[in-house]
Chains A and B, each alone.
Chain A
Amino acid sequence: MSSIEALYLTFLTTGFVVGFGHCIGMCGPIVVSFSLNLKTKRAMVPNLFYHVGRITTYAVLGGIMGATGAFTRITTGIGGLQKGAMIFAGLIIIIMGLGMSGWVPLGQIFGDYGRPDGIIARSFRKLSGIQSSAAFLPLGLVLGLLPCGPVYTALIAAAGLGMENQNTFKAVLSGMGLMTMFGIGTIPSLLMVARLSGMGWLKSRNIIYKIGSILMIGVGIYFLIKGLRF
């Protein structure tokens, strides 16, 4: 096994291990929100789309790290984007929670009383009622930018590959490969959470929906505050 293959395997394992600790904490509430928000019982496909989007972003970042070999410079550059992604995640969870609870007539506020075709009304309807699987791909692309310690660590390794490799093209591919393997490693834990929260019988119980809404709103506020402080 070559050193690069060993590194891929290391970060695949790392992704798997941190997935059941760190990622469940950071991305768990997001996939729970998505799964609860989906009215259909098939939550797996949308979740897979979300992960494909997330891993695509990781791979792009890995490619950039490989090409430049400069971790701190790039992460400083994308700091604003990461802050935005965290705030966006908080907002989307809050909106999904509010939409799911039905306590606040946001649909009416943003739709009937205001301008139904306005950008806020359309955005709200899209965010609070996302049902199309493909819609989860761009969500994953954006939320792949969420600041995360283990992702940073993997990006340091990708930048290290860039510094070691003289061939820029190979360095880009190596960085992308490493981040892809890391991202794939994180999938099982998050799919498990999605499967758990997407159970049909769970969704059929109104009380669970209501409590879930409160939790989602709370977690959304937490993300929002963390994002503003980041």
Chain B
Amino acid sequence: MKFRSRDTCLLKGLWIGMLFFFTMIPTTTVDATDHSKMINCNVHHGTCTQKLRDTDITLDISPKPVKAMTDLKFTINLTGKQGVSEPFIDLGMPGMKMGPNRVFLKSNEKGVYSGTGTIVRCPSGKRIWKATVTLPDMGSVEFIFDVIY
């Protein structure tokens, strides 16, 4: 195989490598990283609680078991110090950009906020999702869990 110069050869090699990389992405990305080790919440059997400074944040998702592509009710219960602004939840997948999917929460009673949202189905088959709960005045915590497709 003759090439005009070494640089051209390198460039062509790089292009071929990139082409094969792009072609093989769907087969290589599936389960490339084991995100199941990151799970810190079992949303199917109850609520999950995390601490943010002086506030306990409890997340509940219903109906259970939690399924993708269905209307879900997200409820946040705050105990301890609370900010002024209403919290919100961003839904996403660990290690994969899925676009902005925010659940806006409304206050039902003091310290209890709820809203509806949907966890979408990823055709890759990955089922690990994260709900990032943000208290605008204080910070955010991540609840990582698996959903049923």
**Partner-B contacts on A (CB < 8 A):** 10-11, 14, 17-18, 21-22, 24-26, 28-29, 32, 71-72, 75-76, 86, 146-150, 152-154, 156-157, 182, 193, 196-197, 199, 201-202, 208, 211-212, 215-216, 218-219, 222-223, 226, 229-230
Contact = CB atoms under 8 A, between A and B. Distances in A.
Given A218-B27, A219-B24, A17 B97 contact: yes
Overall SS of chain A's interface: helix
Interface string B115-141: 001101111110000000000000000
Contacts of B93: 149
B84 interface: no
Contact of B120 (A86, A153, A215): A153
Contacts, number: 106
A11 B71 CA distance: 22
Q: Which bucket holds chain B's interface residue count?
A: 20 to 34
Contacts of A32: 19, 22-23
Interface stretch (B33-41, B54-62, B98-106): B98-106
Contact of B19 (A21, A196, A223): A196
Interface string B9-51: 0001001101110111111010000000000000000000000
B12 A201 contact: yes
Nearest to B101: A153
21 contacts: A10-B100, A17-B97, A18-B98, A25-B25, A28-B22, A28-B23, A29-B26, A32-B23, A72-B71, A76-B69, A146-B123, A149-B96, A152-B120, A153-B101, A196-B15, A196-B18, A201-B12, A202-B16, A222-B26, A226-B123, A229-B125
